[in-house]
Amino acid sequence: MFGLDAGIILIMKTISTLNVRETKKLAKRIFRENKKELAQKCLIFALQGELGTGKTQFAKGLGRALRIKKIIVSPSFTLIREYPFKINGEKGIFYHLDAWRIETPEEWLALGVKGLIKPGNVIAIEWPEKGRETWNKIFDRLPVKIIWVKLEHEDRDRRKISWNSKK
Ligand SMILES: Nc1ncnc2c1ncn2[C@@H]1O[C@H](COP(=O)(O)OP(=O)(O)OP(=O)(O)O)[C@@H](O)[C@H]1O
Ligand SMILES: [Mg+2]
């Protein structure tokens, strides 16, 4: 995934993690890469990957980066879970979404996703590919930075994780 974002060249970085701890650490690292933009934007982590590749583990790592004490659990049945956080004196809300059961753009709109997008908030979406067009519509002209993260099985405990990053 290459692209131009306000003149900045975006590249795909790839790493293999060997266990859950490394996946969580990588989530923290990717958050740190983008942290500066949180003041002006809502950071959206679009977590793509088959069942069991570690999307929820990655979201837990984001929770750690945001110093959230509450345990981040899979939002499968609730669709959206929210966790307030405070880092460096700034308050925000971390929303964890699971798009697995969502079928239509209208369903997302009905859930009020647009209202969650505010600078300082962080959103992690599992199964974002379920609503790619919807996201484009929802996020159009809103202050968002989308970080696409792709997780793949390599072997039992090894995951290949790719994400878009600045050069
Ligand atoms: N390197 C790794 N990174 C992340 N998880 C790993 C790794 N190695 C093994 N695992 C295991 O893989 C599983 C990942 O589960 P997780 O719930 O995060 O997947 P998921 O992508 O969210 O799945 P789902 O699509 O069902 O929501 C966990 O059981 C975890 O212990
Ligand atoms: Mg999950």
**For ligand 1, atom 31: residue with the closest CA:** 20
Mean pLDDT of 141-159: 95
Q: What is the pLDDT of residue 2?
A: 42
Tell me the domains of the chain and their CATH numbers.
3-166 (3.40.50.300)
Task: Give percent above pLDDT 70 in the chain.
Answer: 93
Distance from C-alpha of 42 to C-alpha of 94, rounded to nearest angstrom: 10
Determine which helix (DSSP H) or strand (DSSP E) holds 37, and give its type and residue range.
none
Token pair of 154, please? 């390599």
Distance 123 CA to ligand 2 centre (A): 14
The answer to whether 93 and 82 are in contact (CB under 8 A) is yes
157 lines ligand 1 (CB under 6 A): yes
Distance 6 CA to ligand 2 centre (A): 32
Contacts of 95 (CB under 8 A, 6+ apart): 80, 81, 82, 83, 116, 121, 122, 123, 124
Which atom of ligand 1 is closest in space to residue 157's alpha carbon? 8
Q: pLDDT tens digit string along 123-148? A: 999 998 876 777 777 888 899 999 99
Please indicate, yes or no, whether the overall pTM of this predicted structure exceeds 0.85.
yes
pLDDT at 82 over 90: yes
Instruction: Determine the residue of 56, 97, 126 to mutate for testing ligand 1's pocket, defined as the one with the most ligand atoms within 8 A of the Cβ atom.
Output: 56
pLDDT at 86 over 70: yes
pLDDT at 1 over 50: no
Q: What is the pLDDT of residue 33?
A: 95
Q: What is the pLDDT of residue 8?
A: 64
Going from the C-alpha of 158 to that of each of 23, 26, 110, the distances in angstroms are 10, 13, 37
